[in-house]
Amino acid sequence: MDNLFLLILLPLISALILTFLKTNAAKSIALILSLISLALTIPFLCAFDTNGGMQFEQNWTWISFLHIHFHIGADGISLPLILLTNGLMPLIIGTTFGKNYKGNFYALMAFMQAGLLLVFLALDAFTFYVGWEIALIPIYFICALWGEGDRIRVNLKFFVYTFLGSLLMLIGILYLYQQVPNHDFEWTSFIALELEDHTQRWLFWAFFIAFAIKIPIFPFHTWQPNTYTNAPAAGTMLLAGIMLKMGVYGLMRWLLPVVPTGVALYGQFAMILCVIGIVYASIIAIKQDDMKRLIAYSSIAHVGLISAGVFSWNTNGLSGATIQMLNHGISVVGLFYVLDIVQQRTQTRSLSELGGIAGKAPRLAIFFMIICMGAVGLPLTNGFIGEFLLLKGVFQYGFWFAVFAGLTLILGAVYILRLYQQTMLGETTEKTAQFDDVKGGELIILAIVSCLILYIGIFPNFLLNLSAGSVEVLSTFLGR
Amino acid sequence: MSELIWLIPLLPLIGFIVNGLGRNAFSKSMIGVLGSAVVLISFVCSCMLFFDVYQSRQAGQPGVIEQHIFDWISVGHLKIGLSFLVDPLSAIMLLIVTGIGFLIHVYSIGYMHHDKGFGKFFAYLNLFIFFMLLLVLGSNYLVMFIGWEGVGLCSYLLIGFWYKNSSYANAAKKAFVMNRIGDLGFLLAVFLILGTFGSLEFSTVFAAAKNFAIGDIAVVSITLLLFIAATGKSAQIPLFTWLPDAMAGPTPVSALIHAATMVTAGIYMIARSNVLFVLSPFTLQLIAVIAICTALLAAAIALTQNDIKKVLAYSTVSQLGYMFLGLGVGAFTGAFFHVLTHAFFKALLFLGAGSVIHGMSEEQDMRKMGGLKKAMPVTYMTMLIGTIAIAGIPPFSGFFSKDEILANAFVASPILWGLGFIGALMTAFYMFRMLFMTFSGSFRGTAEQKHHLHESPKSMTVPLIVLAVLSVLGGGINLPEALGGNHWLADFLSPVFAEGKALTPVTNHLEHSTEYLLMAVSTIGVLIMAALAFNTYVKRQQIPEGDEAPRAFLSRLSYHKFYVDELYESLIVRPINWMSAFFGNIVDQRGIDGLVNGAGKATYDTGKVLRLLQNGNVGFYLLMMVIGVIAIFVYGLLSL
């Protein structure tokens, strides 16, 4: 059972099946199929050797005269993201059980899953680029068709903006292809190139901007709040939970090792952008009235810290980034799900119209509290492990960077507790006077999310061990 | 017992989980008994553990027990274990936390009896005990940090326990956020410690620290950051304003968390790290200055407050200042001694205040009390004892601990002693003022309140009596030599402070005659203040005026808490809110997004203009072609 291609194939088959399902059974079938995907992931986790090398590699010639290969494989950086993708999918599908979605919605999700997996597994730049674009198209339709508000315009901007970034990356990839002596797109060929400094300079920007738009890193983030806010809850979870990790993963797989000198030259600049983004987005989050927008901005701050950890380029920062990508995924699914539950029952996202839900729905209040504590990084929650390692990494990079990045500890508490207070505490309002507590499927999803938050917070070593070897290898690329 | 250390924090955690899940299913008595029982068993275990440590100390050993539970975080060379350390310092702290914790659990059974959230309350209290025990037991800075942040969470949950009241919820948020400012300092200190010593384990760090020079920049930075952390948790200037607001929580919470245990965590942490602090005389001086300022400021505010809990809250801030003063002048034992005695009498005073509030149908304004002596004799007697203890009248416990700090301050600088003495005078005045306004004179409340006025039930008065006994006798554990004692506590704790002491330059010892003189002066001063309060509030029956009444300048400053909250509001809160709106609406939407949209629009407009060129006129195309050809020729000629 070490056929990675199966992992990509299965969602594609799922997508095919689901497309034609018009009944309500689509949900359950989608859930079962996604659970099978998750189950298929487990053997890889068990068989994985944490020595840091590429494993489970599969390589087929795709277009022979251009030396394009379909080449996939996993190491300690990609495997946690495979786990994230396949682990979150069933949860996200579970959150849609109250919705009236048909098979085509789930087909798009499965299609996207295939694209994401391809991105995380690709060891050939062409394969990577194909996955990168494949993942974008379904999410565009999910957000544009099932979203709300000014969804068409907002999504057009999102699409064009990220596509622009992709083109920059494509130019970079094609250039690198030309430089490789026997003209191929292999990752190993790319990292073996010894590029001139001035080449690395522009290549850094081509890749960095592409990834920075996707993540998004300040100041390339302005598509994000509107897109997150107008997308359907499941779409937001896909975007924030999994898709933006493509960008961070890109930094770790295709930027750091390929243009190490470029990173050495401009890394500090990127670091400054990340840290500015953390403080800037946190401050904006403080005053948001729309709860989804609040979390959208908080997400910019969180991924800013993750990216800062990547650019700190040491074992702590990189390990922190890897584990925090998972943690952030779990957290945002929990957060957006709670917000969606509240919005479904009150028909509003405005904090000024909410309050007092804790009295009506104590179970929801408890789960929300756990999720919030994970988001502010309280020790013994998963968020702390990530934040601790990331800040430790940033601290090694520079004391003042850590001080400013560390403001997220304080500002995060301000906006998250405000969100909690304005929704859960205080007296009930007109909109929250009738509020049913969570039950059934909702309860299960929230319980799973909460347990994961606590479990990873207490026993993070399993995940840290997964990435340890590869992070060690990656950190040796520094200053090469 | 030493193998079962993990049981001590685990029991309250189990209590939390069981009570938390069964809060609606179980009966109140069951919840109360279960919640108290787990803490009681923890207390018994702590006693056994203490006995082990005690025996080891008797045998001349340092009395240290370490226990590794499991590896928590391991990345590369970074390995942080969840492990526990019991030594004389944590052994005593365990007794305080579980012992007083147990009494307050019992008290809460009576106090919270009518509350709908009874089960939730006990679950939170158990969770608090769990985190506090982790803080105390941690054998490295990160496990301590789990407890450190965890108690902050419990504090947040319990301050905002009556969450429907939005000002309570605000107070809870304020406490959490201000604590988080300190926590960032803690976390940065942790990174710096890791970078400097390569480990977070206390034993490794302190052993390595001995080789550092006094005033080493890394150590100075570490201690400064740790002190920032302590100012947050232990409510010192500039991060003290959350503590008075924290009184929004139920009174047992104020007694347990905001008086006896959590707020002393900063002192515990610094005492634990004494080796590092001794290496940084600058930090110690800063601590002494901040501490005395806090002690005086808070005492000055307490002089005019009319809310019984507010008086006690500011008193706590002020007493914490004394403890830090002790740390600042290097009297680690004295500071910890005061932690201990303060835990007794301040818990007693808060629980007494709770008993008063309970009897007065939730009234907290002392202007509406008076004459409660008759209706609540037990509460009165125990609070009288607490007041005498905190005021520092011998032979009650507060006298000895405060005296030790002040005597050490005198050695460091007579000015510090003088300021500390002024603070002690204020303490005596406001405490007796509180006592007399509440219990003497005639009843000033409503007829309704008078009708309901009653002494509290046994579950509440028994803890009061136990604490009163401890407040009287507590001083006995560290009697000064001057009074024929043998400094038992100092001796017991000596291994913890030995390394720090070895690094301290020898200071001149205080003569016994000077010590007697200082004691006499402070005792006489305190008695005069008590008499002054008696004269004002009992003989002349003066009652403070309403909120709006005109006040003299100093009195107004004190009454309005020196406007510190207002200052922070206009210096920090409002600018951040303004920045939030400015960044969100102007910079983000108009500025950055404006550029992005502008780029998009420019492309669109260019396309619109260029599209016009495709007008289908063949003549125009020909013209363009000719121009193009000429241009190529010219370019070719020029580049030849």
CA distance A111 to chain B (A): 29
Span A132-180, pLDDT tens digits:
999 999 999 999 899 888 888 888 889 989 889 999 999 999 999 999 9
Q: Would you call A461 and B73 a contact, using CB atoms and an 8 Å cutoff?
A: yes
Task: Band the pLDDT of A479: cuts 50, 70, 90.
Answer: low
- Report the alpha-carbon distance of residue A69 to residue A239 in Å, rounded: 28
Q: Does B187 touch chain A (CB under 8 A)?
A: yes
Six token digits for residue B538: 């009992």
Do B551 and B578 lie in a common domain? no
Rounded Cα–Cα distance for residues B331 and B404 (Å): 8
* pLDDT per residue as tens digits for the range A283-341: 999 999 999 999 999 999 999 999 999 999 899 999 999 999 999 999 999 999 999 99
Task: Show which of B109, B139, B169 is a domain's final residue.
Answer: B139
Q: Which residue of A has its CA nearest to B180?
A: A410
Contact B71 A359 (CB under 8 A): no
- Of the listed ranges A189-193, A221-225, B540-544, the one predicted with least confidence: B540-544
Asked whether residue B440 falls in the same domain as residue B532, the answer is yes
- Looking at the structure, tell me whether residues B437 and B573 fall in a common domain: no
pLDDT digits (tens, 9 = 90+) for A78-126: 999 999 999 999 999 999 998 888 888 999 999 999 999 999 999 999 9
Residue B278 domain-assigned (yes or no)? no
Q: How confident is the model at residue B425 (pLDDT cuts 50, 70, 90)?
A: very high
Domain boundary among B508, B524, B559: B559
Compare CB distances from B73 to A221, A378, A385 and report the shortest one's residue.
Answer: A385
Helices of type H across A347-440: 357-360, 362-376, 382-397, 399-424
Whole-number mean pLDDT of chain B? 91
Q: Any chain A CB within 8 A of the CB of B218?
A: no
CB contact under 8 A, A426 and B153: no
Q: Which of B559, B594, B626 is the last residue of a domain?
A: B559
Q: What are residue A96's phi and psi, to 5 degrees?
A: -95, 5
pTM: 0.93
Phi-psi region of B440 (alpha: psi -120 to 50; beta: other; left: phi over 0): beta
CB contact under 8 A, B177 and A413: yes
Report the C-alpha dihedral over residues A292, A293, A294, A295, rounded to 10 degrees.
60
State how far residue B315 is from chain A, nearest Cα, in angstroms: 27
| Distance between B124 CA and the closest CA of chain A, angstroms | 12
Is residue B320 included in any domain, yes or no? yes
Interface test with A, best of B70, B74, B75 (most A CBs within 10 A): B75
B472 and B608 housed in the same domain: no
Does the N-terminal peptide bond of residue A216 adopt cis geometry, omega within 30 degrees of 0?
yes
Whether the link from the prior residue into A379 is cis, omega within 30° of 0, is no
In a domain, B144, yes or no: no
Share of chain A above pLDDT 90, in %: 71
- Cβ contact, residue pair B145, A378, below 8 Å: no
Tell whether B629 and B492 lie within a shared domain. Answer: no
Q: Which residues of A touch B597 (CB under 8 A)?
A: 157
**β-strand partners of B79:** B74
Residues B94-109: tens digit of each pLDDT: 999 999 999 999 999 9
Are both B555 and B596 inside the same structural domain? Answer: no
CB atoms closer than 10 angstroms to residue B449: 17
B634 and B541 housed in the same domain: no
Does B216 map to a domain?
no
Note whether B163 contacts A: Cβ–Cβ < 8 A.
Answer: yes
Q: Classify residue B184: in a domain, yes or no.
A: no
HSE at residue A409, side-chain half, CA atoms within 13 A, is 27
Same domain, B574 and B540: no
Q: Identify the residue among A159, A162, A220, A283 best suited for mutation to test binding to B, counting B beta carbons within 10 A and taking the highest.
A: A283
**Given an 8 Å threshold on Cβ–Cβ distance, is A283 in contact with B579?**
yes
Task: Compute the mean pLDDT over every residue in chain A, rounded to the nearest whole number.
Answer: 92
Q: Which of residues 71 through 130 in chain B touch A, CB cutoff 8 A?
A: 71-78
Q: Is residue B478 part of a domain?
A: yes
Tell me, yes or no, if B586 comes closer than 8 A to chain A by beta carbon. Answer: no
| B570 shares a domain with B554 | no
Q: Where on the phi/psi map is residue B361: left (φ > 0), alpha (ψ -120 to 50), or beta?
A: left
Do B8 and B101 fall into the same domain?
yes
Position B534 scores a pLDDT of 92
Q: Where residue B506 falls among pLDDT bands split at 50, 70, 90?
A: low
> CA torsion, points B563, B566, B571, B577, in degrees to nearest 10?
170
* Separation of alpha carbons B467 and A128, rounded Å: 70
What is the structure's pLDDT at B242? 94
* In a shared domain, residues B489 and B606: no
Cβ-defined contact of B173 to A418 (cutoff 8 Å): yes
In tens, the pLDDT along A380-407 reads: 999 999 999 999 999 999 999 999 999 9
Give the whole-angstrom CA distance, residue A24 versus residue B472. 73
Number of Cβ pairs < 8 A linking chain A and chain B = 135
Report pLDDT for A167.
92
Q: Which chain A residue's Cα is nearest to B186?
A: A406
Q: Which residues on neighbouring strands pair with residue B619, listed in sequence order?
A: none
In this structure, what token pair is assigned to residue A196?
């001139």
Domain count, chain B: 3
Tokens representing B295? 């002690």
Nearest to B187 among A161, A358, A406 (CB): A406
Residue B221 inside a domain? The answer is no
The number of beta carbons lying within 10 Å of the beta carbon of residue B550 is: 7
- Kindly determine whether residue B580 and residue A425, on different chains, have CB atoms separated by under 8 Å: no
Looking at the predicted structure, is the pLDDT value of residue A20 above 90? no
Write the residue in B77, B194, B588 that is nearest to A284 by C-beta. B588
Q: Which of B86, B41, B93 is nearest to B63 (CA)?
A: B86
Give the model's confidence band at B640: pLDDT under 50 very low, under 70 low, under 90 confident, else very high: low
What is the four-CA torsion angle of A199, A204, A205, A208, rounded to 10 degrees? 160
- The whole-angstrom separation of Cα B37 and Cα B468 is 22
The DSSP secondary-structure symbol of A438 reads P
User: What average pLDDT does the segment A28-52 reach?
Assistant: 91
| Surface-to-core class of residue A47, CB atoms within 10 Å of its CB (0-12 exposed, 13-18 middle, 19+ buried) | exposed
At A434, the amino acid letter reads Q
Top residue of B133, B179, B580, B590 to mutate, by most chain A CBs within 10 Å, is B580
Question: What confidence tens digit (pLDDT) does each residue in B523-533 have?
Answer: 999 999 999 99
Interface test mutation site (partner B, options A409, A437, A453, A455, max chain B beta carbons within 10 A): A409
Which band of pLDDT confidence, cut at 50, 70 and 90, is reported for residue A1? low
- From residue B151, how far is each of A416, B92, B202, B226, B331 by CA, in Å? 18, 19, 21, 17, 26
Whether B462 has its CB under 8 Å from any CB of chain A: the answer is no
Contact status of B578 with chain A (Cβ, < 8 Å)? no
CB contact under 8 A, B163 and A373: no
| Closest of A217, A300, A201 to residue A251, by C-alpha | A217
Q: For residue B284, tell me if it sits in a domain.
A: no
Q: Nearest-CA distance from A156 to chain B in Å?
A: 11
Q: Residue B507: its pLDDT value, please?
A: 66
- Taking CB atoms and an 8 Å limit, are B164 and A356 in contact across chains? yes
Q: Which domain holds residue B618?
A: 566-638
Residue B314: CA count within 13 A, CB half-sphere: 26
Phi/psi at B74 (nearest 5 deg)?
-135, 120
Any alpha helices (H) in A180-290, and if so which ranges?
187-192, 197-214, 223-230, 233-236, 244-250, 260-286
Least confident of A336-345, A470-479, B58-67: A470-479
Nearest to B352 by CA among B392, B379, B323, B321: B379
pLDDT at B501 over 60: yes
- All residues of chain A having their beta carbon less than 8 Å from the beta carbon of residue B576 are 283, 286
Between chains, do A464 and B74 touch, taking CB under 8 Å as contact?
Answer: yes
Using pLDDT thresholds of 50, 70 and 90, give the confidence band for residue A343: very high
Question: B183 contacts in A (CB within 8 Å)?
Answer: 409
Residues B547 and B580 in one domain: no
